[in-house]
Amino acid sequence: MITKLTKIASIALLFAMLFSCSDDENPVTDDDYVPIPVSPVVLDMDAFPFDTLSEYNFFEGEIKDQEPVLGVIPYKPISNLFTDYAKKKRFVWMPSDVQATYVADNELIEFPVGTLLIKTFYYNNVQPANNTRIIETRLMLKKADDWYFADYVWNDEQTEATFSLTGSFTNVDFLENGVAKSTNYRIPSSVECFTCHKQGTNSVPIGVKPQNLNSLFGYTDGSQNQLQKLVDEGYLEDNLPTTINTVVDWSDATQPIDLRVRSYIDINCAHCHSELSHCDYRPVRFAFDESADETNLGVCVDPDTEIVGMVNIVTPSLKERSVMYYRINTTAEEFRMPLLGRTIIHEEAVTLIGQWIDGLTTECD
């Protein structure tokens, strides 16, 4: 596999060879030199995290426009994780001459040391000015021993974001599809970051799996499959299988409802309901590659949390007697699911999962 640096250097060498064929009447000069493009991103592993977001030089122009510089590649999971209706922009950057590796469809891409994952949370149609407001930009840096967190909270002027992992709240009033909504948005602490990203004693990313990225994305130079884009950029080793077991967009009503539910639950819940994760003691396993088995989704499974009126985690044809439906449809901290990252109800997901439960015909013993 040709790496980013080797690929660019090969092009430069080709130019040099062409010019070297000139005769004495057309000698090669300094003007013929083709410089090798270098990403302007700044990263000092020992100094991480920097005090401000702008110090990394991820974006060109006004930082609030989030226009990535060379080497900062945007990406988007097929199904999004819900965070109080916040919009998100995601990017990945890697040092030169290193590559990530495909492991399995359902496994996290194996990223090299020095990889940065960048995720900005923002709202459109913020009231009363009906403008865009960026709330935070989260980073995950891969070091030799673990992934490390940094969070940057944006100022009111939207000109800079400052490092903070203490956790805080900020009120946002906004319109979502023309409907007025309000959230006391939670900016996470380091402990809360670890809770969601926990795998044993280490931290891991959540969404960067082939099953979640095997889709088209509209880049500035055209639409392309996201995994192939990473290969072409030299970020990902060219060892992808010919077929990938892929999730669906949970909001796509043309897809089968069971796939939509499994895809939603995978991206929103599986990072806690997996082995060595925060809720691995619960009797469910929500990862997409495991949820084809209805038992792993909680169908006819006795709940381990006592809630008055509930029968099973998922009680077929009776959403009102299902713990899953109850927990996604409440904001009570002691019951809501997910525990973190949500303070208001995701109404569209509640409707979807309610329809799925009511349509189940499985008979419980």
Q: What is the pLDDT of residues 281-319, one digit of tens each?
A: 887 899 999 999 999 999 999 998 889 899 999 999 999
Q: Spell out, as residue ranges, where the chain has pLDDT lower than 70.
A: 1-32
DSSP bridge pairs for 123 = 133
**On the CB side of 94, how many CA atoms lie within 13 Å of its CA?**
22
* pLDDT value of position 28: 56
Which pLDDT score is estimated for 273?
Answer: 80
**Residue 79 one-letter amino acid:** S
How far apart are the C-alpha atoms of 74 and 188, rounded to whole Å?
23
Q: Which helix (H) or strand (E) holds 264?
A: helix 257-269
DSSP string, 175-212: EETTEEEEEEEEEEEHHHHHHHHEETTEE--SS-SHHH
CB count within 10 Å of CB 233 equals 15
> Which pLDDT belongs to residue 206?
95
Cβ-in-10-Å burial (0-12, 13-18, 19+) of 18 comes to exposed
pLDDT reported for residue 30:
60
Specify the 3-state DSSP secondary structure of 259.
Answer: helix
Residue 318 CB neighbour total at 10 angstroms: 15
> Which pLDDT belongs to residue 306?
84
Confidence at residue 274, expressed as pLDDT on a 0 to 100 scale: 80
The per-residue pLDDT for 7 is: 45
- Report the pLDDT value the prediction gives residue 24, as an integer from 0 to 100: 53
AA letter at 88:
K
Residue 179: HSE in the Cβ half-sphere, 13 Å Cα cutoff = 6
Exposed, middle or buried: residue 54 (CB in 10 Å: 0-12, 13-18, 19+)?
Answer: middle
- Residues linked to residue 185 through DSSP beta bridges, in sequence order: 170
Place of tokens 């003691």: 281
pTM here?
A: 0.89
Instruction: Supply 246's token pair.
Output: 């892929």
What six digits make up the tokens of 256?
Answer: 């089968």
Contact by Cβ (8 Å): 225, 320? no
